């Protein structure tokens, strides 16, 4: 029997994870079986166990490395391309908003949907809850770091509160995106952006 190269093994593992991500997002974690994953991926049940011990292990692997399955470049790289030091605080923050919204494409609908599966399961699974808390902490730090670098004299409590408000609004739109498979109409998104920009300008006055 010919030996499978490490590159081929890695690709097959990635294919399994992408298939599972799609099914978990569309059907839910509990409604998706190993048989569903193998059938969709076009592999045998015996083969999948060469890569993952269980459905739970697949789910945890996705939770650990979900950003790698985005079809867009990394969020941090995208921000580095559009944000410059000479921008005002509100200009920087609205860039964060725009880059976040730009990632919500039809191709990334599965990615958005799996976030809800992670959140739901984390309420019952302590290990996953810790992973999600760490990822939330990293997201909060992105906005807080921009605030502190641009306005170093701001009160820490204000920066933290703004960051939580910011991501809460993002999560609300993600929920809409997942539920309806589309963002709100362009005119509504334009109005939402104006409101967000107003919040950013208010922060500059603090």
Check whether 70 has a pLDDT greater than 60: no
Check whether 198 has a pLDDT greater than 90: yes
Going along the chain from its start, the domains and CATH numbers come out as 6-66 (1.10.10.60), 72-204 (1.10.357)
Q: Give the chain as a 3 state SS string.
A: CCCCCHHHHHHHHHHHHHHHHHHHHHHCCCCCCHHHHHHHHCCCHHHHCCCCCCHHHHHHHHHHHHHHHCCCCCHHHHHHHHCCCCCCHHHHHHHHHHHHHHCCCHHHHHHHHHHHHHHHHHCCCHHHHHHHHHHHHHHHHHHHHHHHHHCCCCCHHHHHHHHHHHHHHHHHHHHHHHHHCCCCCHHHHHHHHHHHHHHHHHHHCC
> 115-151 pLDDT, tens per residue?
788 888 888 888 888 888 888 888 899 899 999 999 9
Check whether 3 has a pLDDT greater than 80: no
> 171-184 pLDDT, tens per residue?
898 888 888 888 88
* Confidence (pLDDT) at 94: 93
* Confidence (pLDDT) at 1: 46
Q: What angle do CA 15, 16, 20 make, to 5 degrees?
A: 115
Q: Is 56 or 63 the better-scoring residue by pLDDT?
A: 56
* Confidence (pLDDT) at 30: 87
Check whether 49 has a pLDDT greater than 70: yes
> 80-124 pLDDT, tens per residue?
777 888 999 999 999 989 988 887 776 677 777 787 888 888 888
pLDDT band at 67 (very low <50, low <70, confident <90, very high): low
pTM of the model as a whole: 0.76
């Amino acid at each position: 029997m010919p030996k499978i190269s490490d590159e081929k093994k890695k690709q097959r593992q990635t294919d399994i994870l992408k298939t599972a991500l799609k099914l978990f997002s569309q059907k839910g974690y509990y409604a998706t079986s190993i048989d569903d994953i193998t059938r969709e991926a076009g592999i045998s049940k015996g083969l999948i166990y060469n890569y993952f011990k269980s459905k739970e292990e697949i789910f945890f692997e996705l939770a650990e490395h979900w950003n790698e399955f985005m079809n867009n470049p990394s969020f941090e790289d995208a921000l580095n391309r559009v944000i410059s030091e000479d921008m005002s605080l509100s200009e920087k923050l609205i860039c964060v908003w725009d880059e976040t919204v730009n990632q919500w494409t039809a191709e990334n609908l599965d990615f958005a949907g799996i976030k809800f599966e992670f959140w739901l399961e984390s309420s019952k699974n302590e290990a996953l809850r810790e992973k999600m808390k760490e990822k939330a902490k990293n997201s909060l730090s992105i906005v807080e770091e921009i605030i502190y670098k641009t306005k170093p004299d701001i009160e820490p409590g204000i920066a933290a509160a703004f960051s939580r408000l910011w991501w809460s609004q993002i999560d609300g739109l993600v929920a809409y995106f997942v539920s309806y498979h589309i963002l709100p109409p362009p005119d509504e998104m334009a109005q939402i952006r104006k409101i967000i920009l107003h919040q950013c300008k208010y922060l500059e006055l603090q």
